[in-house]
Amino acid sequence: MTQTDVDRLLAQRQSVRAFLKTPVTAADVSAILTSARLAPSGGNLQPGHFTALTGAALDSLKGTLAAAIQQGRPQIDGYSYFPNPMPPHLKARQRDAGYALYNALGIARRDLPGRRAQFARNYAFFDAPVGIVVSIERGMGKGCYMDLGMALMALFMAAQGRGLATTGIGALASYGDLVRGHLGLPDDHTVVCGIALGHADKAATVNNFRTQRAAFDEYAALRGFDD
């Protein structure tokens, strides 16, 4: 079986949580977002919107989020990200991923302040030079979220192919109303997630661990094949 360039990019991709200060050009960001829009889309609706921020614009959003957290502002989830209740087998995967992350950072299981501080870095876009806010029109159906997910994967791969790193930030949706107001997004937009984009700090411990994927038989089945 031949490994393709896409296979290699997928194997290399990971969620990066420490970035270099090296800037990312507007041309690169535009090219990445243009590639993202080439993803499949039912009825060619092309749902979703991407607002890319850097410099003072990104710092301003980060400051607004930091102030909200400091003031204990309630979180308002714009949509349900995880199943509720979470099935035990999925909860185990989530827990294992969390343990792996905190282990890599040297944060003990009972170190709640350390965990909270690390989680708050989501709202600082992990100090990446570019932050992208992803939103979708509220009237879109569930299938449109699938289409947007494919666009997000295309975005990640386009960035990876240019030697850039990314991580999705689902936590941003918990302050979606605040983000929408700060950026002046339309009232009918739901903030789906954020994306941190930049050059990975390869020396950072947090970037040197990988989560485990499920075994093939857990998520796929082959039927009717001769080989």
Q: pLDDT per residue over 178-192, tens digit each?
A: 999 999 999 999 999
Q: pLDDT per residue over 103-157, tens digit each?
A: 888 888 888 898 889 999 999 999 999 999 999 999 999 999 999 999 999 999 9
Residue 25: predicted pLDDT = 98
What percent of the chain is predicted at pLDDT more than 90?
A: 79
Residue 50: predicted pLDDT = 98
At 206, phi and psi to the nearest 5?
Answer: -65, -20
Query: Residue 143 falls within a domain, yes or no?
Result: yes
**Which CATH number do you get for residue 155?**
3.40.109.10
In angstroms, rounded to a whole number, what is the distance separating the alpha carbons of residues 104 and 161?
26
Query: Residue 46 falls within a domain, yes or no?
Result: yes
For range 189-214, the mean pLDDT: 94
pLDDT, mean over the chain? 94
In angstroms, rounded to a whole number, what is the distance separating the alpha carbons of residues 32 and 158?
5
pTM: 0.94
Token pair of 133, please? 């806010």
**Which letter, b or e, does each residue of 165-179 get, where b requires 16 or more Cβ atoms within 10 Å of its Cβ?**
bbbbbebbbbbbbbb
- DSSP reduced 3-state for 85: coil
The count of domains in the chain is 1
How many Cα atoms occupy the beta-carbon half-sphere of 179 within 13 Å?
A: 30
Query: Residue 91 falls within a domain, yes or no?
Result: no
Query: Residue 106 falls within a domain, yes or no?
Result: no
Residue 76: predicted pLDDT = 83
pLDDT at 84 over 70: yes
Question: Residue 166 contacts by C-beta under 8 Å, 6 or more apart in sequence?
Answer: 13, 15, 16, 155, 156, 159, 160, 195, 196, 197
Which domain covers residue 147, as residue numbers? 13-83+124-207
User: Any idea which residue has 């614009």 for tokens?
Assistant: 57
Query: Residue 110 falls within a domain, yes or no?
Result: no
DSSP 190: E
Query: Residue 167 falls within a domain, yes or no?
Result: yes
Alpha-carbon dihedral sign for residues 224, 221, 39, 18: negative
pLDDT at 52 over 80: yes
Query: Residue 3 falls within a domain, yes or no?
Result: no
Query: Residue 176 falls within a domain, yes or no?
Result: yes
For residue 2, what pLDDT band results from cuts at 50, 70 and 90? confident
Q: pLDDT per residue over 24-43, tens digit each?
A: 999 999 999 999 999 999 99
Say which amino acid occupies 173: A
